[in-house]
Structure formats: C-alpha cells, structure tokens
A = this chain, B = another copy of it.
Amino acid sequence: MYEGAVQDLIDELGRLPGIGPKSAQRLAFHILEADAEDMKRLAAAIVGVKERVKFCQICGNVSEQDTCAICRDPRRDPSVICVVEESKDVLAVERTRAYRGRYHVLGGAINPIAGIGPDQLRIRELLTRLNDEQVTEIILATNPNLEGEATSTYLARMLKSIGVKVTRLASGLPVGGDLEYADEVTLGRAFEGRRSAIG
C-alpha cells in the first residue's frame, strides 16, 4: 500500500510477536518522524544484541561472555540450582533478592502441540552439571501453567533416581490479592499447601 521503504518497514515490524498491522504502521510512522540518530541507535541495538549476546555455557542464561555473571560470581551458592524456563525468569527470581544459588535455563517447557519434547530442552546439560558440580538441591521454578507443570513433573521423576533433593515453588494465593477473586485451582492449591499458623 505504501511506497517501498515504508512498506518494507511495516512488513518487518509486523513480523515481531504481538505487533499487529495497525501497531506496525503506527511504529513505522513514528520511526519515520523520529530523530535519525535515535533510530540508528535502535537499529544498532538490534544488530548488536545478535552479535554480542550468547548463552552461558553452564546455565544457558543470556551472557556477553562464555559464562554469565551469576555463574562467574563466587558468592553464589553452587550447591543449589534453580531450574527456570527462560532467561527472563532468572531476572524475575533475582528481583526477589531471596535466592543466592545458581540457575539452569531450560530454554522452554515441554509442549507436545508445539513439538517441544524433553530433547529440545537443556535437560542433558542439567544432568551433566549434577555429575560435575556438588549440587544438594534442585528448585523447580517452571511456570505454574500446563506446560510448566508437565516439565517439572518430568524433571522431578527423572531426578528422583539421582538422589538429589528436588523442591518446587509453592502455589497459592498471590500476596495482596483478594480471596474472592482467586480462581478455584489457585485457591485449591492454597488449601493443599496450608501451613501451621502458630509458630
């Protein structure tokens, strides 16, 4: 519909996840009218991330070096590994400031419909780490949805034979939420996981 370069940009933007045709058009016109230096910086950031960022050889987290900042940090407890689906989940756990161990990024979750089985995830690498490192606990922190639960169940069964302690994040009511608005599965989990209130 537009002339060459504008339509090219709308097409490329429209291929990004969550960017529909209207958003792509709006973004393209913003880029067209924005400061040229700013847009060169955006383009450079896109190319730069592809050139400079790789994945940590140990845990699979994003990193600009062969091993990520967390795996390199000697203050992190090497005896605990928190298993997450994606690099962004590492950040979410880090924000809590409650965890001082290391991570293992699976690179997704088991999803038969999307053709993702255990072999597509970094599970072999996890087993290698359990052989090489002195690990005493594995915390399964996959997403609390169908794929994440399936992945954790698979891992828990597999790790059982190895004899390492395997734990899972608690399910329950979100802090600050209303009981009234909790869905029944979450509320059910909160009952199952109830703890003694006195001491």
Contact = CB atoms under 8 A, between A and B. Distances in A.
Interface string A48-92: 111111000000001110001100000000000000001110010
Contacts of A15: 38, 42
Identical copies in the complex:
2
A15 B16 CA distance: 16
Interface in A91-129: 91, 94-95
A27 B32 CA distance: 20
Interface residues of A, number: 52
Nearest to A25: B88
B52 A4 contact: yes
A5 B48 contact: yes
A106 to B, nearest CB: 13
A85 to B, nearest CB: 11
Given A30-B17, A53-B32, A86-B29, A47 B40 contact: yes
Interface in A22-37: 23, 25-32, 36
A46 B5 CA distance: 9
